Amino acid sequence: MSSVIIEIDPASGFCFGVVKAVEAAENQLKIRQGQAYGDRRENEKIYSLGDIVHNDMEVERLKDKGLSAISNDELLNLDKKTILIRAHGEPPSTYQNAKKKGHTIIDATCPIVLRLQLRIKNSWIDLKDKNGQVIIYGKHGHAEVIGLVGQTNNEAIVVESMEEAMKIDLGKPIHFYAQTTKGIDEFDRIAAYLKENIQPGLEFKSFDTICRQVASRLPKVRHFAKNHDVMIFVGGKKSSNAKMLFAKCLEANQRSYMVSNGDELNEDWFGQPLISVGISGATSTPLWLLQQVAQKIEIITKDK
Ligand code: SF4
């Protein structure tokens, strides 16, 4: 047995929005398996719009149970299926398209995202008569951002950086929002710039809508990484919060490494001095995967 201490970060695991979406998928799959007859496989299936989480291992696990990911274009090529909307949410056009094609929707949009969609919609309505603009600090093309912009008839302006924010027309009223998983520092910087530079007398409101399920993990993961000799961060390559959390690990501990699963571990990382290894993950990394990685590290460090 390894004498190295291997600890899983107690603050890691799915955020509650993802827990809810995965539970919704699993519950439906169970119901379907109970009801299926005839073409059994087809009746059991449900479809999620995009990967249910940004984690290939979890996507594969659910695929084996009957959850297939499809694109928004593919949605239009299917009829009368069960479609799961994941935690990121969708724009109103998706609901309209699903209705047209006779699909049944299981809406697993995270309640925090749903609330944000509603606030953005209300801002857009409010600003219409004032010739104002809704600005969203977010990642271009990200599913949540597409859902948010959709609340404004695709009129909201997305900025991903200060450089982009500097191109905003400051001669119009502004309501400024953030995608839930963006970093607070850049949001604050952009909000301060807009506030300082908007034409005097014009309405400016900024709403910090960053989800604390991610933001609160940043100092925790930093602290956790600092307290271990080697830090292994498990996250999907497509996950933006994985990148953000891993950057914090690296800031605190240069012996931090990111993997998407246990097969990517490298023995060379576990040289001396080595008293403890910490393992953490993104809000889309399941606990079972962290446990699997811990078992592999246990084997690698057995004789150390
Ligand atoms: S990070 Fe926050 S907003 Fe996003 S799915 Fe998780 S709980 Fe919901």
CATH number at residue 77: 3.40.50.11270
Name the 3-class secondary structure at 48.
strand
- Residue pair 185/167 in contact by the 8 Å Cβ criterion: no
* CA distance to 6, 270, 304, per residue, from 299 (Å): 11, 11, 10
Peptide bond into 273 cis (omega under 30): yes
Structural domain including 39 reads 16-110
CA distance readout (Å), 219 to 129, 194, 226, 284: 42, 27, 11, 18
Contact between 48 and 68 under an 8 Å Cβ cutoff? The reply is yes
pLDDT at 42: 55
Distance 284 CA to ligand 1 centre (A): 10
Distance 167 CA to ligand 1 centre (A): 29
Kindly give, in sequence order, each residue whose CB lies less than 8 Å from that of residue 107, ignoring residues fewer than 6 positions away.
Answer: 85
User: With 90 as the cut, is the pLDDT of residue 239 above it?
Assistant: no
Residues 116 and 205 in one domain: yes
Q: Cα 45 from chain centroid?
A: 24
Going from the C-alpha of 74 to that of each of 79, 143, 204, 278, the distances in angstroms are 10, 16, 40, 41
Residue 87, ligand 1, Cβ within 6 A: yes
Residue owning the nearest CA to atom 8 of ligand 1: 17
How far apart are the CA of 211 and the centre of ligand 1, in A? 6
Q: Are residues 155 and 236 in the same domain?
A: no
Q: What is the pLDDT of residues 151-207, one digit of tens each?
A: 999 999 999 999 999 999 999 999 999 999 898 999 999 999 999 999 999 999 999
Residues 194 and 262 in one domain: no
pTM: 0.87
State the closest ligand 1 atom to the C-alpha of 180, by its place in the atom list counted from 1: 3
- Give the tens place of pLDDT for each residue, 54-99: 889 999 999 999 999 999 999 999 999 999 999 999 999 999 999 9
Q: Which atom of ligand 1 is nearest to the CA of 214?
A: 1
**Phi, then psi, of 224 in degrees rounded to 5:** -65, -45
> Which of 69, 86, 110 is the last residue before a domain boundary?
110
Residue-wise pLDDT for 30-55, tens only, equals 887 766 555 555 556 899 999 999 88
Of 211, 240, 241, the residue with max ligand 1 atoms within 8 A of its CB, to mutate for a pocket test, comes to 211
- The total of structural domains in the chain comes to 3
262 lines ligand 1 (CB under 6 A): no
Considering the domain architecture, whether residues 59 and 36 belong to the same structural domain is answered as yes
Domain boundary among 110, 141, 169: 110
- Give the pairing type, strands 230-234 and 256-259: parallel
110 CA: nearest ligand 1 atom: 8
Residue nearest to atom 2 of ligand 1 (CA): 211
In a shared domain, residues 151 and 222: no
* 280: nearest Cα among 197, 201, 215, 218: 218
CATH label of the domain that carries residue 130? 3.40.1010.20
Given a contact cutoff of 8 angstroms between Cβ atoms, the answer to whether 284 and 241 are in contact is yes
Residue 237's pLDDT band (boundaries 50, 70, 90)? confident
Same-domain status, 90 and 117:
no
Long-range contacts (CB closer than 8 Å, 24 or more residues apart) made by 101-104: 101/75, 101/76, 103/75, 103/78, 103/79, 104/80
Give catalytic residue positions. Answer: 144
* Secondary structure letter of residue 263 according to DSSP: G
| End residue of a domain, out of 165, 182, 212 | 212
User: Mean pLDDT over residues 106-113, rounded?
Assistant: 96
